């Protein structure tokens, strides 16, 4: 049983990449390993159109094709054959396509305010307790159902979530991948199917979304024109993976034992535990924990905590003001500052929109009765202290509400490279932090494809063992004294289920 070569399309809010994933090594399975080679990288960002915040899907798809062409070329140069393509991106957002397959507009971004304006109306039709009891989804003002409620006309179109839209453009096949469907608010967390009563209650067309496909199932093969443009054989499969990036990231948490917590740390921090079944009770709803679907029918019981978006937006503002700050020296100065400085509530929806992040952070600190020194390093330290504190309180709640105790925290994604953040998290939680891999989303994507092709076998624990044999990890132990001096954190604001008027 030889290995295989797979193409992973992995797009985040600030950048995308196409990678070749190789599974090599013979029997037994534990002798195998997985590696990644980046063949194409491209930027992503918000596009302002008619006053709304969108994604430039046409540009992204162009980059995907360039990336697949580069993948084909790289593989051909070493006599390899790419078995399949898997796609993962952020969740929630969608494009509307008509019968001919044309996109109605560039997809809206979840950072646009439109979802928020529809919350009150949606909750009039379906009260939040009923929504949660079925979907198990945390309340976020941008969840798909609120965005859909702002659409003027949904007859004659279908909604395709972003990874599904890419898969459709590659293969001509329309499907909705299950892990991402679970972030729409229109999905039944127990049945694992669309919650048809919600479509009815909200007046949404019954077939607004295509049928569900599970990670590991094949959607189709390449359209002839795509094969011609990329140089990939037309029989290359488009395989569904955990198309929600967080689902792929959690599949690639290199945990050795069952009792682990994870933080998928990138633009957002997704903080929680893996469960076999959802927690749908009222306490869980009020704490705003989500039950998103993971690979192999697992439940990702977590909360969205602010993320490195806070930091990247500050950097963007500083650069625009003419004093660009490189990350490495910034983090070094931030690490040199004493513990116990001011904090903000990293979960505050006030930080979702772009622009002027340093100002917004400064006024949040001021509102809490403290002062933030006017230096980038102080702002960065405040962000990281606040994230670590949010991680600690979120994990404590996740354990309490789910009854699952954890002994180790895995940080995966970009944040796993941020040594200060990893150490502060160990300090704030009092637990060992294991950091890595950085490319968890792409690795989870590749492993699900590899299993579909039978290049690897087993459940998530076998995939995780293979990962541990393949990647470098780093451990951080808590400095217990610091933990005792961590200040009381501002509490999350009460859930704004009515939506802001």
Tokens linked to 483: 């933990």
Whichever of 5 and 240 has its CB closer to ligand LFR, that residue is 240
Of 6, 90, 94, 132, the one binding ligand LFR by CB under 6 A: 90
Select the span of 27-35, 79-87, 88-96, 423-431 touching ligand LFR (CB under 6 A). 88-96
Q: Minimal distance in Å, beta carbon 162 to ligand LFR?
A: 9
Under the binding rule (CB under 6 A), the answer on residue 412 touching ligand LFR is no
Select the span of 60-68, 261-269, 330-338, 352-360 touching ligand LFR (CB under 6 A). 261-269
Under the binding rule (CB under 6 A), the answer on residue 291 touching ligand LFR is no
Whichever of 4 and 107 has its CB closer to ligand LFR, that residue is 107
Under the binding rule (CB under 6 A), the answer on residue 346 touching ligand LFR is no
The residue among 277, 270, 249 whose CA lies nearest residue 136 is: 277
The residue among 101, 97, 100, 71 whose CA lies nearest residue 84 is: 71
Q: Minimal distance in Å, beta carbon 486 to ligand LFR?
A: 26
Under the binding rule (CB under 6 A), the answer on residue 288 touching ligand LFR is no
Whichever of 74 and 265 has its CB closer to ligand LFR, that residue is 265
Only one residue has tokens 């063992």, namely 465
Tokens linked to 11: 């797009």
Of 92, 186, 204, 389, the one binding ligand LFR by CB under 6 A: 92
DSSP state of 375: S
Whichever of 83 and 180 has its CB closer to ligand LFR, that residue is 180
Under the binding rule (CB under 6 A), the answer on residue 177 touching ligand LFR is no
Q: Minimal distance in Å, beta carbon 336 to ligand LFR?
A: 31
Under the binding rule (CB under 6 A), the answer on residue 267 touching ligand LFR is yes
Under the binding rule (CB under 6 A), the answer on residue 304 touching ligand LFR is yes
Q: Minimal distance in Å, beta carbon 259 to ligand LFR?
A: 23
d(CA 189, CA 200): 18
98-137 mask for ligand LFR (x: CB under 6 A)?
------------x---------------------------
Q: Minimal distance in Å, beta carbon 499 to ligand LFR?
A: 18
Q: Is 385 a catalytic residue?
A: no
Of 96, 270, 346, 447, the one binding ligand LFR by CB under 6 A: 270
Percentages helix, strand, coil for the chain, rounded to the nearest 5? 40, 20, 40
Under the binding rule (CB under 6 A), the answer on residue 421 touching ligand LFR is no
Under the binding rule (CB under 6 A), the answer on residue 298 touching ligand LFR is no
How many Cα atoms sit within 13 Å of 425 on the Cβ side? 32
Whichever of 4 and 266 has its CB closer to ligand LFR, that residue is 266
Query: DSSP states of 5-19 as a string?
Result: EEEEEEE-SSEEEEE
Residue 315 phi/psi, 5-degree rounding, is -60, -40
How many Cα atoms sit within 13 Å of 429 on the Cβ side? 35
Binders in 146-175 for ligand LFR, by CB under 6 A: none
CA distances from 188 to 42, 185, 193, 196, 323 (A): 35, 8, 5, 9, 48
Q: Minimal distance in Å, beta carbon 250 to ligand LFR?
A: 10
261-281 in b/e form (b: 16+ CB < 10 A) is: bbbbbbbbbbbbbbbeebbee
d(CA 365, CA 269): 21
Under the binding rule (CB under 6 A), the answer on residue 450 touching ligand LFR is no
Binders in 235-254 for ligand LFR, by CB under 6 A: 244-246
Point out the catalytic residue in the list 88, 93, 188, 245.
Answer: 245
Pairing of strands 218-221, 237-239: antiparallel
Under the binding rule (CB under 6 A), the answer on residue 144 touching ligand LFR is no
Whichever of 188 and 245 has its CB closer to ligand LFR, that residue is 245
Do 169 and 9 form a contact (C-beta atoms < 8 A)? no
Do 251 and 460 form a contact (C-beta atoms < 8 A)? yes
Whichever of 12 and 294 has its CB closer to ligand LFR, that residue is 12
Under the binding rule (CB under 6 A), the answer on residue 268 touching ligand LFR is yes
The residue among 131, 355, 287 whose CA lies nearest residue 272 is: 287
Do 291 and 179 form a contact (C-beta atoms < 8 A)? no
Under the binding rule (CB under 6 A), the answer on residue 301 touching ligand LFR is no
How far, rounded to the nearest angstrom, does the alpha carbon of residue 316 sit from its chain's CA centroid?
21
The residue among 50, 44, 75 whose CA lies nearest residue 62 is: 44
- In the complex, the residues that contact ligand LFR under the rule CB under 6 A are 12, 90-92, 110, 244-246, 266-268, 270, 304
Active site residues: 245
């Amino acid at each position: 049983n030889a290995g295989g070569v797979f193409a992973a399309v992995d797009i985040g809010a600030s950048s995308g990449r196409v990678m070749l994933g190789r599974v090599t090594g013979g029997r037994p399975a534990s002798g195998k390993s997985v590696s990644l080679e980046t063949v194409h990288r491209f930027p992503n960002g918000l596009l302002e159109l008619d006053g709304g915040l969108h994604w430039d899907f046409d540009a992204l798809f162009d980059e995907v094709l360039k990336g697949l062409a580069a993948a084909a070329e790289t593989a051909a140069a070493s006599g390899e054959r790419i078995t399949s393509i898997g796609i993962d991106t952020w969740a929630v957002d969608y494009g509307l396509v008509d019968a001919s397959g044309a996109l109605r507009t560039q997809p809206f971004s979840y950072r646009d305010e439109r979802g928020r304006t529809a919350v009150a109306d949606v909750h009039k039709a379906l009260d939040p307790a009923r929504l949660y009891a079925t979907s198990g989804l945390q309340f976020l003002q941008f969840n798909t159902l609120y965005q859909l409620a702002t659409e003027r006309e949904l007859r004659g179109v279908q909604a395709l979530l972003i990874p599904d839209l890419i898969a459709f453009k590659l293969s001509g096949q329309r499907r909705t991948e299950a892990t991402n469907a679970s972030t729409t608010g229109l999905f039944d967390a127990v049945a694992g199917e669309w919650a048809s009563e919600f479509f009815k209650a909200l007046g949404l067309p019954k077939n607004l979304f295509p049928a569900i496909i599970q990670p590991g199932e094949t959607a189709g093969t390449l359209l002839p024109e795509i094969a011609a443009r990329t140089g990939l054989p037309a029989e290359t499969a488009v395989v569904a993976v955990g198309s929600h990036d967080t689902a792929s990231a959690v599949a690639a948490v290199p945990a050795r034992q069952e009792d682990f917590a994870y933080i998928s740390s990138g633009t957002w921090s997704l903080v929680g535990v893996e469960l076999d079944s959802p927690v749908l009770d009222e306490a869980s709803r009020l704490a705003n924990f989500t039950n998103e679907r993971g690979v192999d029918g697992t439940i990702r019981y977590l909360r969205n905590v602010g993320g490195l978006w806070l930091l990247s937006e500050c950097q963007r503002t500083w650069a625009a003001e003419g004093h660009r700050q490189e990350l490495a020296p910034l983090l070094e100065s931030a690490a040199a500052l004493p513990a116990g400085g001011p904090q903000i509530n990293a979960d505050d929806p006030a930080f979702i929109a772009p622009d002027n992040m340093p100002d917004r952070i400064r006024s949040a600190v001021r509102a809490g009765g403290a002062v933030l020194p006017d230096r980038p390093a102080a702002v960065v330290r405040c962000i990281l202290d606040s994230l670590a504190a949010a991680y600690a309180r979120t994990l404590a709640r996740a354990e309490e509400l789910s009854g699952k105790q954890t002994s180790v925290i895995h940080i995966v994604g970009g944040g796993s490279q941020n040594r200060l953040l990893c150490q502060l998290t160990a300090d704030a939680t009092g637990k060992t932090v294991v950091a890595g891999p950085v490319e968890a989303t792409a690795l989870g994507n590749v492993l699900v494809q590899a299993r579909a092709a039978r290049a690897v076998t087993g459940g998530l624990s076998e995939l995780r063992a293979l990962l541990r044999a393949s990647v470098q990890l780093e451990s951080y132990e808590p400095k217990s004294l610091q933990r005792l001096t961590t200040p009381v954190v501002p509490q999350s604001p009460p859930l704004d289920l009515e939506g802001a008027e």
